[in-house]
Structure 1
Amino acid sequence: MELYMENRENERMILDSIQNGPLVWPTIVEENGTTRKKKYEELSVTRKLQDDCDLKGTNIVLQGLPLDVYAIVNHHKVSKEIWDRC
């Protein structure tokens, strides 16, 4: 799987996501004092790219698993968790 990822565009970001976990979305403190995560549209170009690579990494890992293993880990949304379990 790692060789396949290395052949993809932005391979370093995909591998980093799988080995170290996904982007931690930044938060915004609203005027009324509440805190929320930024929306995708509010992320910088680099962070949007990292989020996209997080999703690609998860899809690559899931697609590379045998069906019996996939059934065990398909509920995980983070590729690092899937990678670590397999």
Structure 2
Amino acid sequence: MRALRVSYYYLPLHGYEFDKTQIVLLWMVEDLLQHKTDEMEMDELGRKSFHVLYSRSFFQLSKINASRFIMLDLTHD
């Protein structure tokens, strides 16, 4: 949950579009991803973590660019 908290506070304000890679790299640089096994690479773990947050509607696809995401206003507030 630490990764989620840090990412939440450091995301730009409403309407900012970002791609998954930006967030995953942020988590990697900040050493927020915890390896449970050596089998999973850090970027794979980051992508899976992002997918979990996306599936829980923490992020949504941008209406302008389908390869980018935004944080829902209600989530950010």
Interval of TM-score (by shorter of Structure 1 and Structure 2): 0.3 to 0.5
Find the structure with the greater CA-based Rg: 1
**Higher helix proportion (structure 1 or 2):** 1
